[in-house]
Structure 1
Amino acid sequence: MTASSSRDPNAADGLRFLLEGALDYRGEWGAELTPFLMALESHAEGWMPDVVKGARRRKYSRESIVRALDERRDEHGASIALYRASPSVELMLDLNPSPRRGQLTCSLGIQPLSLFSGRERCMMFVDMVRNWAAHYPVDYAMAHSLADRQLAGAPYFGREEKAARREGFDKLYEVFWLNVFGPRLVEAAGRERMLTTPAHRVEALPNGSVLVVLRPTAADFTSEESRVAQARAHVHLRPELTFDTVLRTLRERSAALAPVEPRFHPDLAPLLSRLPEEFAISERQRKIAEFNAFRPPEPDEWLPVAHPSDVEEPERVRNSYGDLSESLVAALHTKVPSIFDATPESLTDLDLYFWRENFPERYKRDLIDAHTAPALGAYLGGVLVRRLGGTWIPRQNIEESQVRVGKRVWLPFLRARRHMQSRQALLDYSLTQFFREAERHRD
């Protein structure tokens, strides 16, 4: 299990912690977890979880944890989650009480990372991890920026997933802010070399592991001083690497995470401002830069002069457009609740939904062309009618059907068909931009 990261595009980076330790299970969850929970309760200053989730949610207590574990137990063990809303905390615990080699896996995410800017809180976190690693012998444990860890290639570091899971942390791939190297890694690097790592704190643990903490604080990992310290420790433990090469890679990662100010196309800003949250946190700044540079084609689905209606019963055709629109609402109202409102914001929510789902490329083309695109065109035209005072001008060829707004007539069915051609077309021919353009020409 993994700790979730916030989907807010403005969310700060978070601290990511992983530990896989040996579990000496003797038939009582409470007894085996007591050292873990004691360390958590005494060191989680400012971010202590307050909710336990098993089969249902309960207020944090040791009794609640035992009950949740009993509820979630199966032949493989038990998994529970501990939460806190503010700051955002998600702690996943997996317990596998195998008689051959029991295992406790802890996955912890805390946001924002700025919570760990101060020395005192960071050292409390380090002491908590030290207590855990001393009681539950580990192969490897780490704590670091979530975004930077992603850029480092964790957790597989270029290996195939199956091979990585089989081999585990079989060699030292990276040195993070906090590291606990188990006996196998200590032996591979050389115990004396490990204990002389240039770092803020290096400590041998009673079970043969070694704790290495690069710097007093975790949040400043992109600073030049931190990157130099990280490179020195990495090259010390992997002498076949070169300092300049490692440092250059770390600086590139820092540059990739440097904040980029959003400067989106004004008509598309309501949509583009929400897209970065759909990417891993390590990619968001690069995506903001890409979306800043994106300039969609100007909408040309309009005419300066209306083509007169060529249908025999215009009112009946207009009603059929309403039926088409209602079919879209019926199909998507649970996934896009604002679709009931028929507002500009509803159009942006639809843009986002179709993009997130990669709708044009995931669903059958004949279904899209015959049903989705016409229903979307009817809905889009309906929003122009309701919100801009437009008037339908029906045509036998549905893509020629128009909505008069001000001195122009707009072609919503044509726009909807273009919109549904590909994932990129969802941005090139967004509903949001089309509405804004029509709005500007209302008077």
Structure 2
Amino acid sequence: MKYLNLPESRSADYLALSLEATFDSATSIEEELGPFFQALEEHAGDWMPDVVGGKRDRKYSRDATWKALKERRMERITFIGLYRTQEPALDMSLSLRFPPLPSDFSVLIHIDSLPLFSEKAPCARLVELVRAWALRYPPSYASAHSSADEQLAGAPYFGRDNETAWRDGFDKVYELSWLNVFGPKLVETVGRERVLSTPAHLVEELPNGSVLLVLRPTAADFASEEARVAQARAHVHLRPELDFGTVLRALRERSAALAPVEPRYDPDLAPLLSRLPYEFAISERQKKIAEFNAFRPPEPEEWLPVALPADVENPERVLSDYDDLSEGLVAALHTKVPTIFDETPESLTDLDFYFWKESFPKRYLRDLIDSHTAPALGAYLGRTLVRRLGGTWVPRQKLEESQVRVGKRVWLPFLRARRYMQSCEALLDYSLTQFFREAERHRG
């Protein structure tokens, strides 16, 4: 069953909801988790999952969830994923642990996108959902907040090593989210009176000793000045040893880092550069957009005003060798870069993206790159110039001197490919995309 893949979304930010709570492992899964899914069905609204992922994907239903949990059941744990086939995309996981481990479960939800929670009604439904879960399953901690801002805050470890973070959990108020549920242990650590007097939109003591705390009516405006001041005040109230000015300054810096940046990429490289920011953590994307906006590659120098004469005895055989090199590249990469068959500017951009994403010059042996990959790329690049720009090969004994005549210039695709493969930085400085566009401009 095909569902939306949230990591492939171009969203600027997601709403992230996490919950750590306990359950009765002596009761059947169906009976114990029935209220969990009942609350989800009542309150999720527009982001209700419609796919359950176990060993295979099924249309959402209670029966499908029970089957998936049983399929994935191991001695001490089980887990499932829940997704959507229509926007908004959803990535939700539910993991349960069984004795001899503590009988607890964790929920992690990412909803695309955060602007869905700019109105009060969907935010109120989310609060109702978390309240229902927290009432039924005693929580240690729960939160809902901007995914990007959580990353900048250092969640979930907050500067601790993995072992310490797993051992201690959320044992003090490292950070305040838009929505928070403090379990009884954390409430007692902070002080119940202090928690209940927190300046916030909603502070509610639950019958099991937990406290539900919501900073503001809506989640999406977390980065506004008003929201940051409210966040800083509440945080310093719960952690009086912190300095308000210092906390607020750090929050403002995070807001600045997440402020939207309009893409203004180099025109030749825009098809490539527009894809790169989405390969970074969501908290880094605006910074990366700004960096790629500023990037201007050097003008291609792999060309000559006058062609060197062909100096090979059998040009047809040499051109056949070039075809073999190019077809070897196609055979090696066609599953990873399906458009490579097309030999178009778009194919070159897809190759640029693939090699950059793979950090190819860093990950693969230099001897292999120099002896095989770079020559094959040069042949493919030259063949694309021939096919798409009406170019003509001028073969030379020295591979890097072999040329493709396009208009009044001759281009050196093998030399370009060698420079391109020198380093990960060179993949952008000497991109295949830019080389083609420069040749295209001069073909008249």
Q: Normalised by the shorter chain, which TM-score bucket? A: over 0.9
**1:91 lines up with 2:84 in the alignment:** no
Count residues with an aligned counterpart: 440
1:182 is matched with 183
> Which amino acid in the other structure matches residue 418 of structure 1?
R
**1:421 lines up with 2:417 in the alignment:** no
Equivalents in 1 of 2:101, 2:255: separation in Å? 43
**1:312 lines up with 2:313 in the alignment:** yes
1:442 is matched with 443
Contact 1:214 1:229 in 2 (8 A): yes
Alpha-carbon deviation of 1:373? Answer: 0.3
Residue deviations 1:212-235 (CA, integer Å, cap 9, x gap): 100011011111111111011000
Secondary structure of the corresponding residue to residue 264 of structure 1: coil
Alpha-carbon deviation of 1:162? Answer: 2.3
Q: Relative to 1, partners in 2 of residues 1:282 and 1:4: Cα closer, same or farther, differing over 3 Å?
A: farther
Equivalents in 2 of 1:99, 1:336: separation in Å? 47
Equivalents in 2 of 1:401, 1:162: separation in Å? 57
Q: Can you give the 5+ residue segments of structure 2 that lack an aligned partner in the other structure?
A: none
Equivalents in 1 of 2:370, 2:156: separation in Å? 42
Alpha-carbon deviation of 1:137? Answer: 1.3
Alpha-carbon deviation of 1:194? Answer: 0.5
Alpha-carbon deviation of 1:100? Answer: 5.8
1:35 is matched with 35
Stretch moving more, 63-72 or 365-374:
63-72
1:22 is matched with 22
1:205 is matched with 206
Alpha-carbon deviation of 1:337? Answer: 0.3
Contact 1:7 1:278 in 2 (8 A): no
2:237 is matched with 236
Residue deviations 1:269-305 (CA, integer Å, cap 9, x gap): 1110111110111111110100011111100000000
Secondary structure of the corresponding residue to residue 151 of structure 1: helix
> Which amino acid in the other structure matches residue 322 of structure 2?
Y
Secondary structure of the corresponding residue to residue 417 of structure 1: helix
2:277 is matched with 276
Residue deviations 1:221-260 (CA, integer Å, cap 9, x gap): 1111111110110000011111111111111111111111
| Coordinate RMSD, CA, aligned | 1.2
Residue deviations 1:384-433 (CA, integer Å, cap 9, x gap): 00000001111111000000000000000000000001110000000000
Equivalents in 2 of 1:117, 1:137: separation in Å? 29
**1:260 lines up with 2:261 in the alignment:** yes
Secondary structure of the corresponding residue to residue 6 of structure 1: helix
Contact 2:25 2:98 in 1 (8 A): yes
Secondary structure of the corresponding residue to residue 231 of structure 1: helix
2:403 is matched with 402
**1:370 lines up with 2:371 in the alignment:** yes
**1:107 lines up with 2:108 in the alignment:** yes
Equivalents in 2 of 1:76, 1:389: separation in Å? 64
Q: Relative to 1, partners in 2 of residues 1:174 and 1:5: Cα closer, same or farther, differing over 3 Å?
A: farther
Alpha-carbon deviation of 1:71? Answer: 1.1
2:60 is matched with 60
Residue deviations 1:301-350 (CA, integer Å, cap 9, x gap): 00000000111001100010000000000000000000000000000000
Stretch moving more, 390-399 or 100-109:
100-109
> Which amino acid in the other structure matches residue 282 of structure 2?
I
Alpha-carbon deviation of 1:351? Answer: 0.3
Secondary structure of the corresponding residue to residue 207 of structure 1: coil
2:362 is matched with 361
Contact 2:76 2:100 in 1 (8 A): no
1:345 is matched with 346
1:51 is matched with 51
Contact 1:23 1:97 in 2 (8 A): no
Equivalents in 2 of 1:6, 1:283: separation in Å? 14
Equivalents in 2 of 1:432, 1:201: separation in Å? 53
Contact 1:26 1:32 in 2 (8 A): no
Residue deviations 1:116-166 (CA, integer Å, cap 9, x gap): 111121111111101111221121111001111111111111112222122
Alpha-carbon deviation of 1:168? Answer: 1.3
Alpha-carbon deviation of 1:4? Answer: 7.5
Equivalents in 2 of 1:201, 1:5: separation in Å? 30
Equivalents in 2 of 1:137, 1:155: separation in Å? 20
Contact 2:329 2:376 in 1 (8 A): yes
> Which amino acid in the other structure matches residue 162 of structure 2?
E
2:173 is matched with 172
Q: Relative to 1, partners in 2 of residues 1:4 and 1:333: Cα closer, same or farther, differing over 3 Å?
A: closer
Secondary structure of the corresponding residue to residue 423 of structure 1: coil
Contact 1:49 1:82 in 2 (8 A): yes
Q: Relative to 1, partners in 2 of residues 1:30 and 1:210: Cα closer, same or farther, differing over 3 Å?
A: same
Alpha-carbon deviation of 1:97? Answer: 2.3
> Which amino acid in the other structure matches residue 356 of structure 1?
K
Could you tell me the percent identity over the aligned residues? 69
> Which amino acid in the other structure matches residue 43 of structure 1?
H
> Which amino acid in the other structure matches residue 345 of structure 2?
P
**1:431 lines up with 2:432 in the alignment:** yes
1:120 is matched with 121
Alpha-carbon deviation of 1:58? Answer: 1.4
Equivalents in 2 of 1:378, 1:17: separation in Å? 50
Paired residues for 1:319-330 under 5 Å:
319-330=320-331
TM-score, length of structure 2 as denominator length: 0.97
Equivalents in 2 of 1:260, 1:114: separation in Å? 17
Alpha-carbon deviation of 1:263? Answer: 0.7
Paired residues for 1:283-294 under 5 Å:
283-294=284-295
TM-score, length of structure 1 as denominator length: 0.97
Residue deviations 1:155-182 (CA, integer Å, cap 9, x gap): 1111122221222112211000001111
Q: Relative to 1, partners in 2 of residues 1:100 and 1:341: Cα closer, same or farther, differing over 3 Å?
A: closer
Q: Relative to 1, partners in 2 of residues 1:37 and 1:115: Cα closer, same or farther, differing over 3 Å?
A: same
Equivalents in 2 of 1:100, 1:341: separation in Å? 54
Alpha-carbon deviation of 1:76? Answer: 2.0
Equivalents in 1 of 2:258, 2:5: separation in Å? 19
Equivalents in 2 of 1:279, 1:27: separation in Å? 42
Alpha-carbon deviation of 1:77? Answer: 2.1
> Which amino acid in the other structure matches residue 210 of structure 1?
V
